[in-house]
Copies of this chain bind each other. A is one copy, B any other.
Amino acid sequence: MPMGLAVIGAGYWGPNLVRTALATPAFRLDWLCDLQSERARAVLGPYTTVRATSSYEDVLADPGVAAVAIATPAATHFDLVRSALEAGKHVMVEKPLTPSAAEGEKLAALAQRSGLVLMCDHTYCYTPAVRRIRELIREGEIGELQFVDSVRINLGLVQPDVDVLWDLAPHDLSILDFVLPEEVIPVAVAAHTSDPIGARRACVAYLSVWLSNGALAHVHVNWLSPTKIRTTVFGGSRRTIVWDDTNPAGRLAVHDRGVDTLQAGTVPQDERRDALISYRTGDTLIPALPEREALMSVMAEFSAAISEGRPPLTDAQAGLRVLKLLEAASRSADSGGVRISLNGAVA
């Protein structure tokens, strides 16, 4: 017996939620809601039995609706999510959870108190590539994580409401949050941004995230690049993973290549420092990955979390951790790139 679902927002991302909801047997899509009901109707097309509406109230009042999936501008998230939770609906919401961590915390607490699922649609965490990366890192395959370098650049839509950091970096930060070993956490952030086209918001941003194990993670996001690059490198002491999300033939490569330093004590002190460094140039493995659309897995996780009464893989806490990184990054960028500790202090 499928659960009733409503999708809220028929803009850029909403149609993807509609399409995957229609293909998810665990859900019965009842509504597509948009302030412009015409837009909702256009997304559904002329052949549908799904209802379009501009009334969020009607959706929330519908007892057949057990869950809502919200894809509206970030500024509306707080009100929409709160109303849904108050109406007893489970909620999935696009990134960022809310524009501020303070609001996000209120929603997380409300969901917790109400016993409802509040899930963040961190879509990339549900790709077969990122799931495998998480396994490779958490099961020790790459050894100790030494550095992360992520590039996400393209000729992108300059957003009316957010800068490039808030538009694109949530992807990289949610992936980072998802794959980091459990004992490793971000401790400080710095960001350098630039608006070279006079868009009145950052269009190019470089983000450094210091991790608790001493490693540095770096993110480059850019709306102005003529070419599309989506590559993330996870450097480890035993293996290094290169994930090229634009390369269908070999999205993930696991390289047995790297630089090793011998531990102090294992080499007589009077030998030269050079002797302490060695190089591996071993094979590269490109693992076969299942072909599965990430958003289908997102829908499956949302429905499973509801049925099983458990937090989803990417719950409100995950969304909050990403939010706090973004807030610290913005503070840093506004202060000329100063390093911001994640307990809030200038580090």
Interface residues, chain A, with chain B CB atoms under 8 Å away: 22-23, 28-29, 45-50, 146-147, 149, 151, 153, 155, 158, 160, 190, 192-194, 196-200, 203-204, 206, 208, 214-216, 218, 220, 222-228, 233, 235, 237, 240, 242, 246, 248-250, 253, 255-261, 272-274, 277, 279, 281-288, 336-339, 347
Q: Which residue of B lies closest to A242 (CB)?
A: B227
From the candidates B224, B250, B261, B336, name the one contacting A259 in the complex (CB within 8 A): B224
Cβ–Cβ < 8 Å partners of A204 in chain B? 147, 149, 216
Interface of A, helix, strand, loop or mixed by DSSP: strand
B273 touches A283 (CB 8 A): no
A220 touches B222 (CB 8 A): no
B235 touches A225 (CB 8 A): yes
B160 touches A235 (CB 8 A): no
State in angstroms the CA–CA spacing of A50 and B256 once bound together.
Answer: 43
State in angstroms the CA–CA spacing of A204 and B190 once bound together.
Answer: 16
CB distance from A244 to the nearest CB of B (A): 9
Cβ–Cβ < 8 Å partners of A285 in chain B? 283-286
CB distance from A300 to the nearest CB of B (A): 17
B237 touches A197 (CB 8 A): yes
A192 touches B220 (CB 8 A): no
A257-B155 contact given A45-B23, A190-B337, A224-B147, CB 8 Å threshold: yes
A196-B224 contact given A47-B22, A259-B158, A283-B286, CB 8 Å threshold: no
